[in-house]
Structure 1
Amino acid sequence: MTSNEPLQPTDRVSTGLAGLDEVLDGLRIGDNVVWRVSNLDDYRRFVLPFIDAAAHAGRQIIYLRFGEHAPIVSEHPAVRVIHINALGGFESFTSRIWRLIEEHGRGAFYVCDCLSELLNAWATDAMVGNFFRVVCPFLFELDTVAWFALHPQHHSRMTLDRIRETTQVMIDVHRDGAEVQIHPIKAWRRQSPTMFLPHREQGGRFEPITDSSDATRVQASLELEYLHRQPLLDYWDKLFQEAGRALANHEQHCVDDLQDQVLKVLISRDPKILELARRYLSLEDLLTIRSRMVGSGYIGGKATGMLIARNILLQEDPDTWKACLEPHDSSYLGTDAYYAFLVHNGLWPSVMRQRSEAGYLAEAPELQQSILKGGFPDEIRSELERLLDHYGQYPILVRSSSLQEDGFGNAFAGKYDSVFLVNQGGPEQRLAALEDAIRQVYASSMSEDALVYRRQRGLHQREEPMALLIQRVNGRFHGRYYLPDAAGVGVSRNTFAWDSSMDPEAGMVRLVMGLGTRAVDRIEGDHACVMALDQPGRHPFRNQDESYRFSQHLVDLLDLQEGALTTCPLSQLAQDVPALPLPYLAEVDRPASERAEQLGLAGPVWRLTFTPLVKRSRFIERLSRLLKTLEAGYRHPVDVEFTLHLDRQGEPSFNLVQCRPLATIGETGPVTLPEEPDPKRVLFRTEGHFMGGNINLTLDRVIRIDASVYSRLTTGQRYEVARLVGEAVRQGNGHTLLIGPGRWGTSSPELGVPVRFADITGVSVLVEVSEKAGDMVPDLSYGSHFFQDLVETGTAYVALFPDDRQCLYQPELLEPAPRQTEPEVRPEDAILVTTTVDRPLHLRADVISHRLICYFDD
């Protein structure tokens, strides 16, 4: 509280001790009183008179019990004891306290356990200070009086300073044998000539030590008492200091216990992740992680997955991966920095409004904007400056790595932002850009898509702080451009095998040239190269022309001159950058090259088929080995992101940038497809081109987008169709089949319906139909974030190509579209909803035979 705030007219409050009231000029309504003690008995002896005085005054008294020490208040008829578990983490604990203060309202009095006990639950000392900075102003606002204790020798100077700055009253208590001394350190808006001197207790009074010689002797005895105590260090730092000492002294009996302690405060609380980390992250590895951290707390799921995966490869197959796995150069911004940012910017009241049921979505946009405008604590900014010194002017990638992200069953794929930074310019300019990127990732935690995802999966009441993974972008400088040779997404199980001869257990890859953004996102008008690893030369195309058409034509890269992530046509890039490794990744399209030559255009014309990489290098062998090794280590199918660095012979080394458990739709058991039903009852059937394993569903309704109407709508009307589809999905119950032209979730309405995944959450089956109107073609892009959502939510996917002889599609069997008599069509005219309860509609799919059929009962 600042001294220039007007003092509100308030009643005096007694400490319960007349002598102490005299020293402090009493307490005031709104006071938070912090007692710094070495022994909690000294806190108890002051608490009990205060409680008796408050009870006599008719005050409501609440004892917040969260410590492992003996109770401060044993039993008192006027005191309500509320037990709170601090082990759930800073956010859940602080939120619980906040709600309790709200519930008890104005004028309640509080006694709290020792704040130092929170170190046992949170490990990170900074969060104790942040907790106090959140709660103290709220208590002051509600005209309460609250008492706290702490052991000053257990906390860092920064935490002690922040608590002192925030509280209204702070008192040190010292004991010399039977003699008790108090030393008021702060009493807001109160002063006397002797108030802030040490005071000896004598017969119920507290007499100031007014003799300077006496005071000097007292101070000397106190310094002698603390001389042999450990210097003030953060609890977090003490733990890592002890770990380093145990390793240096080869104290193996301590190492295992310390490894377990550090894992629980640095890596995860999830039992599955902890079990995996125990096997593959040694105490030495954990100390290395700590040395590359900004702040404290958890490094988050994405960083954890990347580090564990790298160690699996190096430990389980060292002969291969010591030579073929590039070293990483990552840094980590811990979860405590995220909470410190929120507290520093006074955003906790906004956080609490957003965490309520009514405010979960409604309050998020305002909180998101506040995060984007926030500043960083000085200690974080100085660490970020040092981090940038390390990376120099290499481009870096700031990636989300939240606590729940990339865990078993919760990938959060694409829900949070990642930001590329070209990292050019002077130090101030680069620091400003980094801070903007961090704010953007923090703010993405409040996006509607992320919030809906969390609520849908029952995670919205669980702590989800945002850590950051900061990585040097793997690649090469090519003049004004910077990009890796290639990048991709690999999955150890191919649940999208489009041919019955393919082995799903062999895995699959989605490969691009340049940055991997085009491998993980559905890119409009362009296509990554999708390969089944057991048959990499086999593609789901009819001919070479179609193979070229559905290949990559645009390359994502960093433009150092423009200072941004950008997209460049391959044809232009090939002309501007002669040193591109195209001979190792692409094939020359000879007919197209000849036509270009005739037109006087520079050639040759390259097509990114990745055939040379497959045929002339050990890429497929190494990727297959990588995926199998990681699946064995995780004891679960995996999904990885990687970049490739090609040597002079075109042999790839891998930089593994992400690994997570693959979300798969569980098999429903053997499915028996019906004998060939009457074609008049078949809505659609296909061989291949579906995802979800064995499927056995009875559908309750069908929502279909009429392509003939949709193709006549304007761009704005197509976005309106997307909104109306979301409404229609939310209005239904049971199993819904959603059919549309081209690509669901596209950002280009001419290629499909631009819904967000949040709009269609709850759909059982999603169907994309290749329609003539508007050239809307399904995107066979397993591995993209949109498809990851489908997999995690158990949503089956079907791509229909009506021109293919193995496909049948008869939308006329559904409720017919109304005849259009008006020349102008409306968005709602494109949406047709058919209820199938009275005439059951079944969907059956067999992953072994790769056959799927959707048909009506007789």
Structure 2
Amino acid sequence: MTSNEPLQPEDRVSTGLSGLDEVLDGLRIGDNVVWRVSDLEDYRRFVLPFLDAAADANRQIIYLRFGEHPPIIEQHPAVRTIEIDALGGFESFTSRVWHLIEQHGRGAFYVCDSLSELLNAWATDAMVGNFFRVVCPFLYELDTVAWFALHPDRHSRRTLDRIRETTQVMIDIHRHGDNVQIHPIKAWRRQSPTMFLPHREHDSRFQPITDSSEATRLQASLELEHLHRQPLLDYWDRLFQEASRALSEQDENRIADLQEQVLRVLISRDPQILELARRYLSLEDLLGIRSRMVGSGYIGGKATGMLIARNILLKEAPQLWQQHLEPHDSSYLGTDAYYAFLVHNGLWPAIMRQRSEAGYLTEAQALREGIAAGRFPDEIRTELERLLDHYGQYPILVRSSSLQEDGFGNAFAGKYESVFLINQGAPEQRLAALENAIRQVYASSMSEDALHYRKQRGLDQREEPMALLIQRVNGRFHGRYYLPDAAGVGVSRNTFAWDSTMDPQAGMVRLVMGLGTRAVDRIEGDHACVMALDQPTRQPFRNQDESYRYSQHLVDLLDLQDGTLDTRPLSQLLESTADLPMEHLAEVDRAATTRAEQIGLKSPVWRLTFRPLVQKGAFIARLSSLLQTLETGYRHPVDVEFTLHLDEQGDPSFNLVQCRPLATVGESGPVSIPDYLPDDKLLFRTDGHFMGGNINLTIQRVIRVDASIYAGLNTSQRYEVARLVGEQVRSTNIPTLLIGPGRWGTGSPELGVPVRFSDIAGVAALVEVSEKAGQMVPDLSYGSHFFQDLVETGIAYAALFPENSCCQYVPEHLGDTSASQSETPSPTAAVRVHDVTHRPLQLRGDIVRQQLVCYFTE
């Protein structure tokens, strides 16, 4: 119904009080009515006549009960009471209310508890306003009438303004003893000369106060009454104000109580994370986090992990880390800013469609597009401008930090975006770039890979708001380029010890020069330096030439001139940049240097082996200490990302970028491996080159990509192979072993099968085979996102090198398939599916003996 249509009698609704109907010219179908009160008894007093009138009109009436206050409606024969738990957070509560409104359909009437009660559950006042902005238009659209109450003194002016802007009717109730006055503040699409005056109740009538002197005295008395009340501050701000006061007064009991309150609204709801945070994040630390925050709500898992890890080091080993741990310079965009962005851009209906079973994947693209086109609320933009003022023109990194990210068991490794910003140019350009980066990270929460990951782990219906961690990029300016000296991923447990003399508890590092992106991601055609920390100079290569070949040749950096994250060959970078710390990171390849000099090329030729860093300094000792201290603090193996800052002597300081619990395949105790197996029962055996700890799996199906056929396919056909593999994996839930040439999950089809992890997430074990056909070689990329997915999901991994004496591989024992070897190479022919249900395979691995075997059982 538009405002130009004539009002029909059936569009009118009574408040149940004829005098109040006169004041408001009645209610309208679609009205949301907000009562601002200081005492809920006044709200209840007006609710009861409304219920009786609605019942007489045979209306369906629902009471939404979510407050801790006494019920507004005790018992009423025409009312259905539905209790809703608000403690689950904004999204789960709002979604539940949305679905209830949807379920009851058109024309239902609603009475709700006080909106102010939601503060007890959410702490963040802005979300109360966002909740109302979501449900009020939906109620209006379905021709309902809904009543709400709130205590105005408990909300910020911004929240009150947004509720007023959204609702159709708003009424203030003032009480002076037995004297009750109502003051209509808003009544959409109706008007009278006295409608918006205060009205005094007398004999069920409401008389407007038309005498200006009397109105002035009334206003003065109200102001005097409010003088001694707490000022209009956001509940969130009041909590931190109390925390600051308790610290200044050294009130230990109050400090402990407030620390717990703040942890639960700022850090996490997860019991394991909370237990860790209680030990290592003081109330003073929490106030420091708040001071660096844009918006309110949680800072998310990635930010929490980084901050807790830093405090573990500084508390447990202060002598070392006060000197060698670089100060962090991070800011946080709270989860409430994410929800505010969605609500501000009218995206909540799309969120509700996407949360349904049918729309989980189908609605995601439209939602991503809506996020990408969205605008930020003015108050968020103002804060982002101040944040950029703080960082000046240093490059910054905008990182996802969702509520569930980097927790115990759910790392979400590589599922959400991180965006580097060179942060150059005029302030308005830098702000636009920052807003684009935030939108990009927000949209990544709806990526297909992330959605599959959440669904597969049973997280698809859990609240997953996106916070952001914004960090100054650690590094130096080198002319047009900006990069750190080195970066890496360290793990406190080496579950991929390729030699039986290595101690898994010593840990491992994956190290690169430049930005740490190459240490985290699987980079095709280039290699990070992987070191076991107890034997850092021991490499899984046969000679020095092979060591050089499988070293890092490309460097990730920020190009300030082009304004991009870029990759440069090390040789090219050295030609234009003279002040890189090569003597601390690399060795001179003397043979290559001689050849370069003979043909007039620039020399020396450097190879990034990191041996000087390992052999001449304290890097290994400090990293080992860092990892073991963090594992002790977490009471769980950890996975950390860091950058290195080297002084003139090459002495390293660490900047801790990220820390999370390391996901590992469960330690199941000793595994029995048969001493003897008949040749006809063996599928493969290898010494080393498998990951995840002890393995004991029964396999009922094998999907194998035939390397001899795959090598003859073109690029598009190889992508078709990846699609067919995904179809086969998803076609059944029986335990499946996946075997393929080279690298699974590669972005370069010539190096392996370019599946996405979501395509193969259902397999029990994954095998990469070194195949001469096409030169496809497994990539032992410990620390990569693909690896993290494998171990999180409990997928066993092995790399087979049949050309080595320590490995046997007999694919012929899988038997014939429907595809003929004589067929013309095709994607279908390349994908072999073997049902071994009646002759299952047993996959067993012993991490101590470094033996893995896969054999047939009867």
TM-score (norm: length of structure 1) = 0.99
Counterpart position of 1:71? 71
Shift of 1:11: 1.8
Query: Structure 1 residue 834 and structure 2 residue 824: aligned?
Result: no
Mapping for residues 845-856 of structure 1, pairs under 5 Å = 845-856=845-856
The secondary structure found in structure 2 opposite 1:773 is coil
User: 1:365 and 1:620 mapped to 2: Cα distance?
Assistant: 46
Counterpart position of 1:419? 419
Aligned residues of 1:399 and 1:441 also touching (Cα < 8 A): yes
Cα deviation, 1:86-144, whole Å, max 9, x if unaligned, reads: 00000000000000000000000000000000000000000000000000000000000
Counterpart position of 1:20? 20
Cα deviation, 1:754-784, whole Å, max 9, x if unaligned, reads: 1000000110110001111222111101111
Amino acid at match of 2:106: R
User: 1:136 and 1:117 mapped to 2: Cα distance?
Assistant: 18
Counterpart position of 2:437? 437
Aligned residues of 2:3 and 2:189 also touching (Cα < 8 A): no
- Does the C-alpha gap of structure 1 residues 263 and 831 become closer, same or farther in structure 2, counting only changes over 3 Å? same
User: 1:833 and 1:213 mapped to 2: Cα distance?
Assistant: 90
Shift of 1:8: 6.9
Cα deviation, 1:504-543, whole Å, max 9, x if unaligned, reads: 0000000000000000110000111110000001111111
Structure 1: where are the runs of 5+ without partners?
A: none
User: 1:374 and 1:748 mapped to 2: Cα distance?
Assistant: 34
- Does the C-alpha gap of structure 1 residues 108 and 512 become closer, same or farther in structure 2, counting only changes over 3 Å? same
Cα deviation, 1:477-502, whole Å, max 9, x if unaligned, reads: 00000000000000000000011100
Aligned residues of 1:781 and 1:787 also touching (Cα < 8 A): yes
Shift of 1:839: 2.0
The secondary structure found in structure 2 opposite 1:127 is helix
User: 1:776 and 1:555 mapped to 2: Cα distance?
Assistant: 24
Counterpart position of 1:174? 174
Counterpart position of 1:708? 708
Cα deviation, 1:37-85, whole Å, max 9, x if unaligned, reads: 0000000000000000000000000000000001000000000000000
- Does the C-alpha gap of structure 1 residues 6 and 89 become closer, same or farther in structure 2, counting only changes over 3 Å? farther
- Does the C-alpha gap of structure 1 residues 387 and 8 become closer, same or farther in structure 2, counting only changes over 3 Å? farther
Cα deviation, 1:448-490, whole Å, max 9, x if unaligned, reads: 1111111111111111000000000000000000000000000
- Does the C-alpha gap of structure 1 residues 8 and 551 become closer, same or farther in structure 2, counting only changes over 3 Å? farther
Counterpart position of 1:304? 304
Cα deviation, 1:287-334, whole Å, max 9, x if unaligned, reads: 000000000000000000000000000000000000000000000000
Cα deviation, 1:390-428, whole Å, max 9, x if unaligned, reads: 000000000000000001111111111000000011001
Shift of 1:842: 1.4
User: 2:58 and 2:677 mapped to 1: Cα distance?
Assistant: 80
Name whichever of 334-343 and 834-843 sits farther off. Answer: 834-843
User: 2:369 and 2:46 mapped to 1: Cα distance?
Assistant: 45
Aligned residues of 1:281 and 1:308 also touching (Cα < 8 A): yes
Aligned residues of 1:664 and 1:791 also touching (Cα < 8 A): yes
User: 1:692 and 1:811 mapped to 2: Cα distance?
Assistant: 23
Shift of 1:820: 4.7
Cα deviation, 1:185-210, whole Å, max 9, x if unaligned, reads: 00000000000000000100000000
User: 2:638 and 2:822 mapped to 1: Cα distance?
Assistant: 53
User: 1:804 and 1:564 mapped to 2: Cα distance?
Assistant: 43
Cα deviation, 1:811-858, whole Å, max 9, x if unaligned, reads: 122234644545x52211110111111222111111111011111236
Shift of 1:596: 1.6
Counterpart position of 1:110? 110
User: 1:87 and 1:593 mapped to 2: Cα distance?
Assistant: 66
Query: Structure 1 residue 529 and structure 2 residue 523: aligned?
Result: no
Counterpart position of 1:293? 293
Counterpart position of 2:740? 740
User: 2:347 and 2:5 mapped to 1: Cα distance?
Assistant: 23
Query: Structure 1 residue 142 and structure 2 residue 103: aligned?
Result: no
Counterpart position of 1:59? 59
Counterpart position of 1:341? 341
Shift of 1:5: 7.4
Cα deviation, 1:535-557, whole Å, max 9, x if unaligned, reads: 00111111111111111111100
Aligned residues of 2:488 and 2:643 also touching (Cα < 8 A): yes
User: 2:210 and 2:712 mapped to 1: Cα distance?
Assistant: 91
Aligned residues of 1:15 and 1:53 also touching (Cα < 8 A): yes
Shift of 1:732: 2.4
Amino acid at match of 2:597: E
Counterpart position of 1:558? 558
Amino acid at match of 2:312: I
Aligned residues of 2:299 and 2:335 also touching (Cα < 8 A): yes
Aligned residues of 1:419 and 1:441 also touching (Cα < 8 A): yes
Amino acid at match of 1:167: T
User: 1:494 and 1:821 mapped to 2: Cα distance?
Assistant: 44
Structure 2: where are the runs of 5+ without partners?
A: none
Shift of 1:683: 1.2
Aligned residues of 1:302 and 1:658 also touching (Cα < 8 A): yes
Mapping for residues 668-747 of structure 1, pairs under 5 Å = 668-747=668-747
**Identity rate, percent:** 78
Shift of 1:6: 5.9
- Does the C-alpha gap of structure 1 residues 377 and 210 become closer, same or farther in structure 2, counting only changes over 3 Å? same
The secondary structure found in structure 2 opposite 1:467 is strand
- Does the C-alpha gap of structure 1 residues 416 and 652 become closer, same or farther in structure 2, counting only changes over 3 Å? same
TM-score (norm: length of structure 2) = 0.99
Cα deviation, 1:568-621, whole Å, max 9, x if unaligned, reads: 001111111111111100111111111122222111111111100000010000
Moved over 4 A (4+): 3-10
User: 1:229 and 1:712 mapped to 2: Cα distance?
Assistant: 80
Aligned residues of 1:124 and 1:297 also touching (Cα < 8 A): yes
Aligned residues of 1:700 and 1:836 also touching (Cα < 8 A): yes
Mapping for residues 644-663 of structure 1, pairs under 5 Å = 644-663=644-663
Query: Structure 1 residue 768 and structure 2 residue 768: aligned?
Result: yes
Counterpart position of 2:350? 350
The secondary structure found in structure 1 opposite 2:94 is helix
Aligned residues of 1:398 and 1:420 also touching (Cα < 8 A): yes
Query: Structure 1 residue 580 and structure 2 residue 612: aligned?
Result: no
Counterpart position of 1:323? 323
User: 1:292 and 1:692 mapped to 2: Cα distance?
Assistant: 38
Mapping for residues 586-601 of structure 1, pairs under 5 Å = 586-601=586-601
User: 1:32 and 1:665 mapped to 2: Cα distance?
Assistant: 53
Shift of 1:678: 2.0
Amino acid at match of 2:83: H
Amino acid at match of 2:648: R
- Does the C-alpha gap of structure 1 residues 468 and 756 become closer, same or farther in structure 2, counting only changes over 3 Å? same
Amino acid at match of 2:856: F
Counterpart position of 1:607? 607
Amino acid at match of 1:692: G
The secondary structure found in structure 2 opposite 1:562 is coil
The secondary structure found in structure 1 opposite 2:805 is coil
User: 1:249 and 1:365 mapped to 2: Cα distance?
Assistant: 52
Counterpart position of 1:540? 540
Cα deviation, 1:354-400, whole Å, max 9, x if unaligned, reads: 00111111111111111111000000000000000000000000000
User: 1:448 and 1:762 mapped to 2: Cα distance?
Assistant: 16
The secondary structure found in structure 1 opposite 2:181 is strand
User: 1:811 and 1:551 mapped to 2: Cα distance?
Assistant: 32
User: 1:207 and 1:855 mapped to 2: Cα distance?
Assistant: 91
Counterpart position of 2:795? 795
Aligned residues of 1:815 and 1:832 also touching (Cα < 8 A): no
The secondary structure found in structure 2 opposite 1:546 is helix
The secondary structure found in structure 2 opposite 1:468 is strand
The secondary structure found in structure 2 opposite 1:565 is strand
Aligned residues of 1:554 and 1:570 also touching (Cα < 8 A): yes
Amino acid at match of 1:524: E
Amino acid at match of 1:583: E
Name whichever of 324-333 and 568-577 sits farther off. Answer: 568-577
User: 2:86 and 2:697 mapped to 1: Cα distance?
Assistant: 44
Name whichever of 102-111 and 733-742 sits farther off. Answer: 733-742
